[in-house]
Structures are given as structure tokens and as C-alpha cells.
Amino acid sequence: MSKNVKPSSFLASRATSLHPAPDIPFPFTLRIFFLVIAPSRVDSLPDSQRIVITGIGLTSPNGNDWQSFRQALLEKRSGVQPYEIRYFGQTLAGICDYDALRYQTKKDLRRGTRAGSVGIYSANEAVKHSGLDWENIDRSRVGIYIGVTEHGNVETENEIYLIKGFDYDTSVWSHHHNPRTVANNPAGEIALNMGVTGPHYTIGAACAAGNAGLIQGAQMLRLDECDVALAGGTSESIHTFGIFASFNSQNALATHSDPAQASRPFDRDRNGIVVAEGGCVYVLERLSDAKQRGAEIYGELAGYAINTDATDFVLPNPERQAECVQLALNRAGLEPEDIDIVSTHATGTNSGDIQECVALGRVFGKCKTVKINNTKSFIGHAMGAAGALELGGNLPAFKDGLVHPTINVDNLDPQCDLPGLVTGEVQEVSGVDYILNNSFGMLGINSVVIIRRV
């Protein structure tokens, strides 16, 4: 543990209720007053407009449930492995080993897509975790909102590979191609598997998609389009050679003799992205509904924002990123000082990491207590699932007060030397009330989500 551990008395007082006992001397009551959760704009909303997380299901390269994932992050276990893919050859990837047959038949797996399967596993795990009475729930009031970076590349590549063996005779092109590649496929497969008859669709938002799925789910709950939202992101991207080849051509694909050290955001010797698969789905409900059924609440959406750089296909724009972070803070009614953990998007590219640090420096530069970490250093870049997974990896901090580090920062890039950056070792802090999660993507899409301890 770090030396930054604050006195346990501070931790205890922070957990004290809003109403300190009357016999406590004045200086202590004042201290306690300032240690409660900073109020957010959502406090003024009716419970029917307040959105809470009541279930989390996921598969990550280093864990197939929320608890295992968290444990891996605290134990600094990477999920990056050697990987070989058609045409491209040997590379590295974050690979999931969840039990696909837990919720699907072999025929389901044959017919569907990996993104669908990852989504199905994550969504079923989330519902199980939520304690919802799924058998008796009105499934026409469940909505499915799944973020994807891309979809259809894997399936199209597979078909082209197959017809190559038939001299490109398109009469052997599979009739499964269209249902596998329609853009709503991963969300639709979840709906089919779980008998959900409410709305379902994917949110195409490049690598900002995990946050975008969460945001869409919250918006639909507020609009009363559904009573339960299954929201998050999924990725099958390691199964398309194109993504590796394209990053490689862009000089943005990570290489390292030790797979566990390949994903190294903020390190001077970083050399690119480790592509990963994964999924993370949240059960979102209105606070009023969650209270009514006595659900355990893992966090409340305090604020969010999505904006656009409008400057480049791939290069980020720190000014717009900072604006996005600030917009989320404004909507939440929070100051930068109120945020305890910033979960960064940084992917391990030279430019992207620096630009995000510039953006964060602008917003959080004067904050003395904020901690900043990165989850991609463990699992690589899970694309459409990244934002949702990285938030999920940090949420347990509300209870355990631990900030998992950014691993593989052996030589910190001076341009990434943000105050509060947690590297190397887990840090214990005096309490975590607000987590801000960054997730950015190509074509200049930026997304920020702020979650509050409940």
C-alpha cells in the first residue's frame, strides 16, 4: 500500500452520517460537515429522475465477474496474452475466457457473433447480480443499450476468407451474414437470449461507446421508455485482423517481449495499443424503483457529457476533451475538487496519452486530492466495452477505498506527469465519493460519466 494512506480516524469520520451527534465539540462537527458527500445537482431531482446502478456483469481479459476483475486489478494481474490471427500473424491481445455455454447453446454460438455472446454473458450476469425477479419482470419494459466501437468486420472477414476457398463464388456466402452484421446485432442477440421485448439497439461511438451505452440507458429511463436498462458495451474486435493491421499501419499497435508489459499508458517507452475483447453491462434503474424493491445500489449517475472534437479523424483534441469533462462536472453541479478518482481513457499511444493529460491538467491541475488511474494498462483496449469495463473496475473503490494503479509505468513520461497519477502500487484513500470516467474515440467523440457513491 502507498504511504499516502490517510489516518483511519479520517476514514471513520468520512463515513459518519449527515447528522453528527450534538455532544461533539464544534471543530469536529465542522470537520464532519465537510466530509459528507459533496452535494450534486441530482439531489434536486425527484427519485424518478435519478438513475442508479443495481447490477454489474462483465467479462474482461483478467476476470469473468465484477469481483474477480477487481481482485485482478488490485493484485496487478494483466490479461494480455500472445495471440495469433489470420493474415496478420503473431501479436498480443486481451483475451476473455468466460464460460460461453453458461447462457447459450452450442447452436446459439455457431449462429451468433462473439460480440453477441460477450454481451449475452455480461447481461445475464448483470441481471443475476441485480437480484431482479427476472422470471416475473415485464420484459416489454426492459431496454437494451449496448455500445460498440465497430461491428461486422469479424463476420465479413470470415465470409471473404471462406469464399476465397471457392474462387470467390458468392453463392456460398452465408445467409447468416446479414443477421450477424446488422449494427444492432449484439444488443439484438441479448434480447433474443433473454426474451426482452422492449427497445434494443447498439450505440456506435468508437471507443467512447461503453460510456455512451450507459448514458443512453440513463436517458431512456428518464424518458420512461423502459423501467430497467441493460446498458454498457461489448467488443469482439480481437477477431478481426483488420483492426490489428490498421493500428499497425498507423504505428499504433503495441509490441513487447512480455505480453503483460505491452500495455503501458503514460510510460515513456509505450509503443501503442493492445487490442482486447470484453463486455460490461450495467443494470440501471430509477432510484424510485430501486428503493421500492430494496435493491442494493452500487452507484448513482451524477453527471455525463458527450461532445465532439470536429478536428481530425484520429488525433484527439485536448481542448474539446477538457470541455467534455467540464460539461459533465457542470451538469453534475460539481467542482473538480469533488472528484476522487479519474479513470483515464489513455490507450498507450504517444499522442493520445499526452493530449488526455493536457486536458486533465486543465481541469484538475489545481486539485490536491484527486487520484488518476488507468485500467487499459492491465487489459488492453477493450474498444466498445472499454469505458464500461474501466468504470466497473473502479466502482468497488466506493466501498474499499482503494485506487488501483496504472501498471507498467517504469519511466513516467514527463508530459504525462499529472499530480495524483497512481502508478505501480494500489493506493488507499480516505474515502471515494465520486468517480469520473473518460472514454474517447476516433472521429473525435468524447464521453465522460460521473458516478457517485450511494
Instruction: Determine if 3 is a binding residue for another protein (CB under 8 A).
Output: no
Instruction: Determine if 176 is a binding residue for another protein (CB under 8 A).
Output: yes
Instruction: Determine if 167 is a binding residue for another protein (CB under 8 A).
Output: no
- Closest separation in Å from C-beta 172 to another protein: 5
* Strands 434-441 vs 427-428: parallel, antiparallel or unpaired: unpaired
- Closest separation in Å from C-beta 134 to another protein: 23
- Closest separation in Å from C-beta 175 to another protein: 5
Tell me which stretch binds another protein (CB under 8 A): 173-181, 238-246, 313-321, 342-350.
173-181
Tell me which stretch binds another protein (CB under 8 A): 13-21, 75-83, 171-179, 289-297.
171-179
By beta-carbon proximity to another protein, the closer residue of 172 and 443 is: 172
- Write the Ramachandran bin of 380: left for phi over 0, alpha for psi from -120 to 50, otherwise beta: left
DSSP letter for each residue of 110-143: HHS-HHHHHHHHHHHHHHHHHT--GGGS-GGGEE
Among 111, 139, 177, 362, binds another protein (CB under 8 A): 111
Tell me which stretch binds another protein (CB under 8 A): 15-23, 101-109, 229-237, 255-263.
101-109
Classify the C-alpha dihedral 39-45-46-47 as positive or negative: negative
Contact between 300 and 334 under an 8 Å Cβ cutoff? The reply is: no
Quote the CA–CA distance of 395 and 438 in Å, as a whole number. Answer: 14
Among 48, 67, 105, 308, binds another protein (CB under 8 A): 105
Among 8, 44, 48, 174, binds another protein (CB under 8 A): 174
By beta-carbon proximity to another protein, the closer residue of 8 and 105 is: 105
Among 33, 87, 166, 168, binds another protein (CB under 8 A): 166
Instruction: Determine if 178 is a binding residue for another protein (CB under 8 A).
Output: no
Residue burial 140-179, b: 16+ Cβ < 10 Å; e: rest: eebbbbbbbbbbbbbbebbbeeebeeeeeeeeeeeeeeeb
Quote the CA–CA distance of 363 and 366 in Å, as a whole number. Answer: 8
Q: Which amino acid is at 120?
A: I
With helix as H, strand as E and coil as C, how does 193-212 read?
HHCCCCCEEEEECHHHHHHH
By beta-carbon proximity to another protein, the closer residue of 3 and 175 is: 175
Quote the CA–CA distance of 28 and 9 in Å, as a whole number. Answer: 12
Tell me which stretch binds another protein (CB under 8 A): 2-10, 102-110, 132-140, 384-392.
102-110
Instruction: Determine if 107 is a binding residue for another protein (CB under 8 A).
Output: yes
Helix (H/G/I), strand (E/B), else coil: 273: strand
Instruction: Determine if 182 is a binding residue for another protein (CB under 8 A).
Output: no
Number of residues that bind another protein (CB under 8 A): 11
Among 90, 171, 249, 257, binds another protein (CB under 8 A): 171
Quote the CA–CA distance of 57 and 162 in Å, as a whole number. Answer: 34
Instruction: Determine if 172 is a binding residue for another protein (CB under 8 A).
Output: yes
| Contacts with another protein, residue ranges (CB under 8 A) | 105-107, 110-111, 166, 171-172, 174-176
